[in-house]
Each structure stands twice: as C-alpha cells, then as structure tokens.
Amino acid sequence: MILKQSDDQQRIKVFNALADEKRICMIRLLFREKNRPMCSDIGRSLGISKSNGSYHLKILSDAQLVSIEREGVTKYVTLNKEMFDRYLPGFLTTL
C-alpha cells in the first residue's frame, strides 16, 4: 500500500495544532457554540489577549480545523467539522 504523503503532512498539521491546551479549549468552545463567534469573543471567553488568541486561531486555521471569515472589520470563526471527521472521527464528541 502506498501512503499518501499529502495526507501525512495534513495529519502532522492537525496533531501539532491540537497539541496545546488553549487550542483544545478553542475547539471545545466552537463545537459547543451554536452561532458563529467573532475572534475577539473566543479570546475573551478563554481569558487570553487578542494577539494570543490570533496566534492560536492562525495555527488552527493553517491546519484547516477552523475557518476564519472576514466581514468588514470583523472576523468570524467556524469549526471545520469535515476535517475532524476525516482525520479524527469521533474526537469532537469527546469534548
């Protein structure tokens, strides 16, 4: 069987992104949130600075675990459940 290197690279990004407690908390918050929160709301909910929140969200976004959409000057975050279903099926229900 030939391994797909692109899938392996994505797996590395996913696991690296989830290897931090703050990012796990962000994923948990997004999974439980019914509405699309603003980036600033996530940081405020977790008690972290705007720059620290942006840093963690960028890592999650680079791993394609979240999507960040800009509307004017406001950025909204949504969980990319398809990525979790593909690489970590069942993970979100453990949160």
% of the chain exceeding 70 in pLDDT = 95
Exposure on the CB side of residue 11, measured as CA atoms within 13 A: 10
Name the domain count of the chain. Answer: 1
Q: Comparing C-alpha atoms, which of 85, 76, 94 is closest to residue 28?
A: 94
- CATH number of the domain that residue 52 is part of: 1.10.10.10
Domain limits for position 34: 5-94
The tens digit of pLDDT for each residue in 35-74 reads: 889 999 998 999 999 899 999 999 999 999 999 999 999 9
